Amino acid sequence: MGIKQQETIAKSNAGHFSPSGLRRGALFFVILFCLGHGAETLSASWWDDSSNLAKQRLQMINGQLKNRGITDPKILRAMSTVPRHLFVPDHLRQQAYRDGPLPIGHGQTISQPYIVAYMTEILQINPQHKVLEIGTGSGYQAAVLAELSDQVYTMEIIPELAASAGKRLKETGYTKVTVRQGDGYHGWPEAAPFDAIMVTAAAEFIPPPLLQQLKAGGRMIIPVGSPFYVQHLMLVEKKGGNITTHSLIPVRFVPFRRSQ
Ligand code: SAH
């Protein structure tokens, strides 16, 4: 009985300690395994994700830009450098490189990659140029411009978008871009004149202050037309005191707004 008891005690001790020790040990290893495995899965999915997005960006360069006649190596380099997926809302990241515009909130859109490349190419920007963009939106176009010049100024009329684009540009390393909230109709007189001006919202006419702030020899690209109908991208050049305009391609942009 005593022995049995002892055995029982021994067994129960064994039963009490060993399995739970084992359980704890097992738990410890399960946790370690999960942590390790979790870390692996995390880094693997991070890698899959970023390499998959990099692949999509390359496909965008070949399938959407080169195919349609974007040839300037500086533009192709800029477009293959800027991480467009970081300029769209999180849930649209996997669609960032598709051949079209995407919503960015507040009823606004980030332009189709081809249009971004086309408008940038037309401006013939060099590293010494001072560039003004009207319509910051997500900040993506400003980042592309910043790949070509260190002097990029961009204005956005919607305060929330101006704030989020400014933050995003800093986080993605485009620290030299200067963002201002305000009505771009008036341009940016303190920073003028500009070698290049890009407007990314459709205006019914070219705002005269922007014409004034364009340097002699400068180029402006702006969609002109009625807000919900046909618009054309116009190239505006200032040669000496003369302004010339060329209508390039039909486009569809969100309307140029005015502050009240
Ligand atoms: N270039 C942007 C997309 C532009 S969408 C990008 O890369 O994401 C057009 C933007 O122009 C919108 O964000 C809109 O709010 C802004 N906008 C419209 N009228 C404006 C004005 N008068 N001044 C400044 N921004 C304006």
- 67 or 13: which leads in pLDDT: 67
**Are 219 and 245 contained in the same domain?**
yes
Confidence of residue 24 (pLDDT cuts 50, 70, 90): low
Q: How many CB atoms lie under 10 A from the CB of residue 49?
A: 13
Asked if residue 151 and residue 42 are part of one domain, the reply reads no
pTM: 0.84
In a domain, 182, yes or no: yes
Q: Between these two residues, 254 and 2, which has the higher pLDDT value?
A: 254
**126 CA to centre of ligand 1 in angstroms:** 24
* 155 Cβ inside 6 Å of ligand 1: yes
Whether residue 3 lies inside any domain: the answer is no
Segment 43-52 shows an average pLDDT of 66
In a domain, 7, yes or no: no
Same domain, 48 and 172: no
Q: Are residues 48 and 121 in the same domain?
A: no
- Is 111 considered catalytic here? yes
Q: Do 175 and 121 reside in the same domain of the chain?
A: yes
Whether 118 and 202 share a structural domain: yes
What's the structural domain count of the chain?
2
Q: Tell me, yes or no, whether 1 lies in a domain.
A: no
- Both 164 and 40 in one domain: the answer is no
- Note the pLDDT of residue 242: 94
Active-site residue, from 45, 111, 138, 164: 111
b/e burial code for range 75-94 (CB count within 10 A of at least 16 → b): bbebbeebbbbbbbeeeebe
CATH of the domain at 110: 3.40.50.150
* 85 in the same domain as 61: no
Strand 242-251's sheet: what is its strand order? 178-181, 151-156, 130-134, 194-199, 214-225, 231-239, 242-251
What pLDDT was estimated at residue 15?
Answer: 35
* 187 Cβ closer than 6 Å to some ligand 1 atom: no
Retrieve residue 209's tokens.
Answer: 């202050």
